[in-house]
Structure 1
Amino acid sequence: MLYLEDLNIGDHFQSREYEITLEEVLEFAHKYDPQVFHTDVEKAKEHPIFQGLAASGWHTSAITMRLWTECFPIAKGLIGSESSLRWPKPTRVGDKIHVEVEIVAITPSRTKIDRAIVTYVTQAKNQYGDVLLISTTKIVVFKREFE
């Protein structure tokens, strides 16, 4: 587990690969984002932007969250305080997604000496290096000495 003392601006973390399947794209979309370009292989081909089945951006985000927890093991958890994200390219069935994280800022709390806000940029990429998701996230990270 990583504490504030273990982190520095410029640190990089990279996850394992995760392959997205047709079954999970359809299951997630039917449950949480039921739009035809996520739920119907044939109708998705006619979509003017996607031109084929695309995983929900929220599905890509959920996979990214899973991969974050594995490659960026913060003590007491990834406690988010703010995030912004974009999906520059659609995630497709068969994509092998991995996550790259870079710490870009560490801001000590002004009122709580046991923690800081750590800002990091994440890119979720497929096997071709295409960026499927990019986010800037702020999390609360605790100091080891207050354990």
Structure 2
Amino acid sequence: MRYFEDIEIGETEEFGEYRVTEDEIVDFAEQYDPQPFHTDAGAAEESAFGELVASGWHTASMCMRMLVDDYLEERAAMGARGVDELRWKRPVTPGDTLRVRTEVIDKRVSESDPRRGYVDSRLEGYNQDDEVVVSWISLGMLERRNPDG
């Protein structure tokens, strides 16, 4: 387990592999973002995208899943304070394979609770062509191993 004290500013990691399917794009969009370019391949051809694309919220969710499975499970994570600068950079389409890269950009001990530290990280989701499809700054919280020291 990695605690706040184990994390260094500038540290980077790459992980995950998530294959995006048309069925998943449509299922997610029908429930959460039912716009025609997410739910109907024919209608999507007439849209600005020219093809079916994943909702940006779906793209962020797929990257979040990889973050939980391949990154946070090894850390003493205590949740997050939010995200900043969420950007959808490129459309995600059926057949894309996503992966994630993180970089720690800041860390500090909580002033209100010395048992936790704040770790801010830049997350970028990439497709199989090494193009950034989504990015955000995660405002994470990690348990401190030794809050008294």
Deviates more, 1:68-77 or 1:79-88: 68-77
5+ residue gaps, structure 2: none
Report the alpha carbon displacement of residue 82 of structure 1 after superposing the two structures with TM. Answer: 2.0
The aligned counterpart of 1:36 is 36
Report the alpha carbon displacement of residue 75 of structure 1 after superposing the two structures with TM. Answer: 1.3
1:49-90 superposed Cα distances (whole Å, 9 cap, x missing partner): x1111001111111111111122222144x110202100111
1:94-146 superposed Cα distances (whole Å, 9 cap, x missing partner): 11000000000002111221111110000000000111101011011111235
In the alignment, residue 4 of structure 1 is paired with which amino acid? F
The aligned counterpart of 2:60 is 61
TM-score by structure 1 length?
0.93
**Runs of 4+ residues over 6 Å off in structure 1:** none
Aligned residues of 1:15 and 1:70 also touching (Cα < 8 A): no
Identical-residue share of aligned pairs (%): 33
Q: Secondary structure at the match of 2:112?
A: coil
Q: Secondary structure at the match of 2:16?
A: coil
Aligned mates of 1:42, 1:98 — CA distance in 2: 28
Q: Secondary structure at the match of 2:122?
A: strand
1:20-67 superposed Cα distances (whole Å, 9 cap, x missing partner): 00111111111111000000001101112x111100111111111111
Structure 2 CA distance for partners of 1:76 and 1:88, relative to 1, 3 Å: closer
Report the alpha carbon displacement of residue 14 of structure 1 after superposing the two structures with TM. Answer: 1.4
The aligned counterpart of 2:2 is 2
The aligned counterpart of 1:93 is 94
Q: What RMSD over aligned residues (CA atoms) do the two structures have, in Å? A: 1.2
TM-score by structure 2 length?
0.91
5+ residue gaps, structure 1: none
Aligned residues of 1:99 and 1:123 also touching (Cα < 8 A): yes
Say how many residue pairs are matched: 144
Aligned residues of 1:117 and 1:138 also touching (Cα < 8 A): yes
In the alignment, residue 30 of structure 1 is paired with which amino acid? E
Aligned residues of 1:13 and 1:71 also touching (Cα < 8 A): no
The aligned counterpart of 2:22 is 22
